[in-house]
Chains A and B, each alone.
Chain A
């Protein structure tokens, strides 16, 4: 006992009170500044999605762009190759001109991670295992970046796009209010925005309607439908002239007929390829293909320099706007699939908050009343600790920027139930000592001593359970584990230190009054 000395327990408890109440205020009053608890999607409404990235597709599209480079190089250097094909993760072609073998090999060597197999002059190109892994990894991080860019332009308050695991992306969009808004956001995310400029196979253009896809593939072609009239088909060379990776900008504009169009600009490399191609192919058709749909296939009238082009055809203003956003933010190298989606309307979230607040307040009041009835003043002291405990939990969560979810609310409700436990243990010990005839001051000091090991062991095991829950849990369960851990730690501070300090402070008065029923709710037995 520290008679006359500084009551350090009470001092710490006071600091805890100031800390707890102070940092709870921004959350309670919803002030502009200060750290606040964010409401989880289940409480404020919004969209939560877990997306899977089809990383195999990234390899395919990488092979396609390598094929484009090979074609561009050979065309430009008058190297004649034949039968250039892209099969999923392999490129094959034949070199007709054996004299150029050295030149071609030197060019291929410059491409990183490429494995080259040659049988005489038949080439088979594939990616090394390390390069495949790197490509897949890049596809995921690029998808995260791309989706984040697109979402940012959507104008939501606190969107969250994060990589999860090896090939998953977590997208959280609070503040999405209507189904229509949600759908627009989802469409924007899902848009591959894969722009390709491709040469129409003029020789076979007439057979577009009748040819099967397998036949087309045999000629090294692919068939794509028209954007406005899906029945109309185009046959184009499967190796694109260039793709959206060389795009620097995309903006919505209007055509002479006041139709929304998308103007795009290419980087210098793209501009050169585009200029060279159009110069050589005057009179032929150029197909502008977006996500495997042909938007227009104009005739090339002259060399197009400057590296800009236009996508027109059947857009609404909103659509054109979204396509432009998607193009600007870059193509998704690999398509994403929906693995999990949880969308909560704002009204449901509000209902959940109301229901859990009511049960929190009711449960809390019941416990507070019960403690007073059962323990008298000791109960009131425990209740003070309980209330401060609640403030502390909110304050710490606010400081950590934690998110409050529905299970998190349940966690708080539960902590209230369990936080009284330490006080019950202590009070029972004190009563026990009082009954056996100890003086009040001795009963209190020894009561705390005796109760300590039980409280510590019990709380530490619960804390362990909470930590495991956090480590293996997902989403809402993590929130529950966090609130529970904070609650346990806070309750140890308030219930053990705080109440002890209060008793020490009140000790002279307790000793003077000698009324055990008033202070501890019991009569001293014989």
Chain B
């Protein structure tokens, strides 16, 4: 079976202006959502407490709310269904009055007495200091990985490839975060993990296209960068879509069957895979042109590199012969 006809070269670059404008609109609206709706920080980053309760029957949310808000400390508690109608998440922002001996989970348990048969399944308490530290570390992880990737790609390709791939990454992460803000997904540690995975994944895609471009430059006498790019993107298209599709399958099953706990992770990745695939086909390569990538000078540089290598080998061979 095959989907794409073998030799057809699609003219992606011809429409690059359209796609770039489309991306800019996407990014701007993402920042708009980020600005207006904001990120819905979960307790991992904001600090606070989550108590997950499971009832034998449908959870009596109304009665629970009455019981819990009796205590002044939990006035602002939010009580929401979690996955099934039996299961409920109680969330509040205070974590300060929790000690090792007594914590909010214990208090909630006493407050809920008389609302039916229930079981406390999970109590997560994150103090404000820890939350701040986690947020800092998370940002650090994002920034550090971008820098390291930048260096690696610049070393393996050329600085414009590095900048283009990082811009594509920023593009993907921005849009994924826009979607997170739009749908008010809880931003927890696993969402951060998803964002970092998405970076690795999208970079994967981009680099495979870049690799083809590099190969194309070496192989052909083509002088038009657009044609080289079109050729490379078309040739990698079936691989890009196939891998994205298989990964998409897997994440989709994770999203559909993995339960509520993993849903924000898989949601982020679902969006990420779509955006990442799109960007490696339509966004990353045109960026090369924008950054002033020039075929002739690149070829000249590569030729010089090759020449140096040959000279080095020659020198080495002579040296070794001299030793003999």
Count of residues in B whose CB is under 8 Å from the partner chain: 78
Q: Are B2 and A356 in contact (CB under 8 A)?
A: no
A322-355 near B? 1/0 per residue, CB < 8 Å: 0000000000000011111111110110011001
Inter-chain contact total with CB atoms closer than 8 Å = 244
Q: List the B side residues contacting A480 at CB < 8 Å.
A: 190, 193, 197
Q: Are A457 and B207 in contact (CB under 8 A)?
A: yes
Given A344-B121, A355-B262, A366-B253 contact (CB < 8 Å):
yes
Q: List the A side residues contacting B242 at CB < 8 Å.
A: 374, 424, 428
User: Any chain B CB within 8 A of the CB of A400?
Assistant: no
Q: Are B129 and A339 in contact (CB under 8 A)?
A: yes
User: Any chain B CB within 8 A of the CB of A79?
Assistant: no
Distance (Å) between the CB of A362 and the closest chain B CB?
4
Residue of A nearest to B129 (CB): A339
Q: List the A side residues contacting B259 at CB < 8 Å.
A: 351-352, 355-356
Distance (Å) between the CB of B7 and the closest chain A CB?
8
Distance (Å) between the CB of A516 and the closest chain B CB?
11
Given A424-B242, A462-B201, A477-B192, A472-B208 contact (CB < 8 Å):
no
Distance (Å) between the CB of B44 and the closest chain A CB?
9
Q: Are B123 and A343 in contact (CB under 8 A)?
A: yes
Q: How far is the CA of A403 from the CA of B120 in the complex (A)?
A: 24
Q: How far is the CA of A163 from the CA of B294 in the complex (A)?
A: 55
B195-206 near A? 1/0 per residue, CB < 8 Å: 011011101100
Q: Are A414 and B122 in contact (CB under 8 A)?
A: no
Q: Are A343 and B208 in contact (CB under 8 A)?
A: no
Distance (Å) between the CB of B52 and the closest chain A CB?
7
Chain A interface category by residue count = 35 or more
Q: List the B side residues contacting A464 at CB < 8 Å.
A: 145, 148-149, 152
Given A341-B125, A366-B250, A417-B250, A347-B119 contact (CB < 8 Å):
yes
Q: List the A side residues contacting B156 at CB < 8 Å.
A: 457
Distance (Å) between the CB of B141 and the closest chain A CB?
4
Q: Are B149 and A469 in contact (CB under 8 A)?
A: no
Our pick among B122, B149, B254 for the contact of A348 (Cβ within 8 Å) is: B122
Q: List the A side residues contacting B141 at CB < 8 Å.
A: 468-469, 471-473
Q: Are A359 and B249 in contact (CB under 8 A)?
A: no
Distance (Å) between the CB of B252 and the closest chain A CB?
8
Residue of A nearest to B49 (CB): A341
User: Any chain B CB within 8 A of the CB of A484?
Assistant: yes
Q: Are A359 and B254 in contact (CB under 8 A)?
A: yes
Q: Are B211 and A457 in contact (CB under 8 A)?
A: yes
Q: How far is the CA of A457 from the CA of B247 in the complex (A)?
A: 19
Q: How far is the CA of A428 from the CA of B232 in the complex (A)?
A: 13
Distance (Å) between the CB of B197 and the closest chain A CB?
6
Distance (Å) between the CB of B169 and the closest chain A CB?
10
Q: Are B261 and A418 in contact (CB under 8 A)?
A: no
Q: List the A side residues contacting B145 at CB < 8 Å.
A: 464-465, 468-469
User: Any chain B CB within 8 A of the CB of A384?
Assistant: no
Q: Are B200 and A370 in contact (CB under 8 A)?
A: no
Q: Are A406 and B105 in contact (CB under 8 A)?
A: no
User: Any chain B CB within 8 A of the CB of A222?
Assistant: no
Q: Are B250 and A477 in contact (CB under 8 A)?
A: no
Q: List the B side residues contacting A454 at CB < 8 Å.
A: 207-208, 211-212
User: Any chain B CB within 8 A of the CB of A460?
Assistant: yes
User: Any chain B CB within 8 A of the CB of A458?
Assistant: yes
Q: How far is the CA of A480 from the CA of B192 in the complex (A)?
A: 11
The segment out of B9-17, B95-103, B301-309 that lies at the interface is B95-103
Kindly list 18 other residue pairs between chains A and B, CB separation below 8 angstroms, not including A340-B130, A410-B190: A189-B100, A339-B127, A352-B259, A356-B254, A359-B258, A363-B254, A367-B246, A406-B262, A410-B254, A414-B197, A417-B247, A457-B211, A461-B203, A462-B204, A465-B196, A465-B199, A476-B189, A521-B1
- A-B interface, 6 closest residue pairs, ranked by CB to CB distance from nearest: A417-B247, A363-B250, A472-B141, A465-B200, A190-B100, A417-B250
